[in-house]
Structures are given as structure tokens and as C-alpha cells.
Homo-oligomer: A and B are copies of this chain.
């Protein structure tokens, strides 16, 4: 019923589109894989303009790894998630032995649910300077990797895209991987779902207010985006509650009655304005998080960083990475 619920996950956008239309979405291919207990992978491909319109996402690949067990912190399970993340990243990128990779941790490090990008950058095995200054310490299995957390407009006074472009001009990477915090429509996905997209970061996506995108088109370099839901907008919770109530009423009502017609006639706009009233001014920025969000984000950051470390080097194990990181 709802078109404007805020989600950055293509998988959720597709689900909602499907709920509305009650059929497969033209221009969108979907594949589901269940590679291990408690891990599922959904590969959504937007293949046409029609698919773009239906999903509100640009053409390209969107892979979602759902790993609801992450909060349990079982080391073996975490390692499995890292390996699957690494595999899915490798499906979308094409690297030479001497490729230079730039990791960009987006978001505001002072705002817990927006800090996942900078936290991932902290745990990336950075090697580019070793190649340049102490080449004899290079392990053959390393690629040239550098990493920055450019901050956000309100902190720097500079568009994130400008900063990244400036650095790209100097470093000339072959691949950019940008990490960002996302909004989901389901609280249980916070910290336990990872989306990988080969379309880069688009303006207005993520939980910060981005004006410019980070895409191959804007930067001139293939750009992979990795995101994790860290918030659900309060608005979404409110709308879900209303939708539930209407569904409940509809079931209890004779379908020939005046009331049933009235319920059916409640249009989207009306419901949106109801939600607007309930949630008053200021709600736009209110987000719902579990109280343990600090911990969830730390854990997710560690998993993403290791997944990237595995994917973009050439055979380093998690233990190797851990040893080199220090």
C-alpha cells in the first residue's frame, strides 16, 4: 500500500513493489541463495528503465546478505558471513594484480548510527604506502589499498563528493568501495543485513543528507557501495501501525458496507498526512534504533572490513589480515 516508505535496500523496495502490484516486477530479476544456516543472499538485478522506475533504484546489481545471527557474536558464524561477503564482492569487481583500491567510509563519526563507514575504514588493511616506501615488506598476496573517511558536509563545509573527487584525482584508483549507513523498513535488519551494489552511492541515499553521488559516472572510476541498515525512520513505524489497523478493520467489515468502501478509499496521501500529524514537526529526522546500536554497529563494521580485506587482496586469510593490521 505504501510507496514512500523510506528504504535504501533494493530488496525491500522490490518486496514493497511486489506487495503493491501482486506480481513479479518487470525489469527486475531476483535470485535467492541460502548458502548456510541462518544466512541468506538475495541478488536483485535492475535490468531496464522500467525496472528503475518500478524500484526507484538505478540499473545494476544489488546483493543483500541477511545474517540475523550477527548479534550473537559466534566467531565461526561471523567468519562464514565474512567469506560470503568477500565472495559476493568478488562477483561484482574485476581486479588486476596491481590494481589500486580506495575505500571510502562515508558518514559522520560523531553520530552513532551514521558512523559505520568511518568505523570500517579503521579496520581496513591499508597497504598502498608499503608498496611506495617499504616495498620489501609487501606480501605478494596484497593489493594496493588506501582508505579515507571524508566526513560530512556539516563537519567539513565541503561536499563529500568534492573531497573524494580531489583524492581520486591524486590517487587514481582502479576501484572505489564506499561504505555507508542505510535506512531499512524493518528494525530487525539493523546491523545484521549487508547490501552490496555496483551502482555506487546515489544522491539522497543513506541516512545522511547527500547532495552529490559517488558513482562511476561522477568519479570516472568503478564504484561499489556497501551499506548496512542502522536505522528505521520513526515515520515507518507509524505507518506500519496504521496499515495494520486498516487491515484489521477491513477483515472485520462486511465488504458491501459503506465503511468498507470508506476504508478502501483512504488514499495514500491522506494516510501520509495522518502520519505527518501524529509524528509532528521534527519527526523527519527521528530514527528508531535498538539501545545496543553502538555494539551492533561495531560488530557489523568488523565484519564488513574483514569481508573487504578478504575480497580485495589475493588469498590473505583473516588471520593474515589480523596480523598485518598491527
Chain A 265-285, CB-CB to B under 8 Å as 1, else 0, gives 000000000110111111101
Does A95 count as interface, using CB distance less than 8 angstroms?
no
Within 8 Å by CB of A75, from B153, B252, B295, B319, lies B319
What is the interface of chain A mostly: helix, strand, loop, or mixed? helix
Does A256 count as interface, using CB distance less than 8 angstroms?
no
Q: How far is the CB of A31 from chain B (nearest CB, A)?
A: 27
List, in ascending order, chain B residues with CB within 8 A of A151's CB. Answer: 148-149
Q: Bin the interface of chain A by size.
A: 35 or more
Q: Would B73 and A323 count as touching, CB distance under 8 A? A: yes
Does A145 count as interface, using CB distance less than 8 angstroms?
yes
| In the bound complex, CA of A252 to CA of B265 (Å) | 13
| In the bound complex, CA of A156 to CA of B102 (Å) | 9
Within 8 Å by CB of A158, from B170, B240, B259, lies B170
Interface 9-mer from A58-66, A81-89, A231-239 = A231-239
List, in ascending order, chain B residues with CB within 8 A of A326's CB. Answer: 71-73, 295
Q: Would B290 and A286 count as touching, CB distance under 8 A? A: yes
Chain A 51-69, CB-CB to B under 8 Å as 1, else 0, gives 0000000000000000000
A residues bordering B, Cβ < 8 Å? Answer: 71-75, 110-114, 126-130, 133, 144-151, 153-159, 162-163, 165-171, 187-188, 207, 211, 231, 234, 237-242, 244-246, 248, 252-253, 257-259, 262, 274-275, 277-283, 285-295, 319, 322-323, 325-326
**26 interchain pairs (CB within 8 A)?**
A73-B322, A74-B323, A111-B292, A112-B294, A114-B291, A126-B157, A145-B157, A162-B170, A162-B171, A165-B170, A166-B170, A187-B280, A187-B282, A188-B282, A237-B241, A237-B278, A237-B279, A241-B275, A242-B242, A244-B274, A244-B277, A244-B278, A253-B259, A259-B259, A282-B290, A289-B289
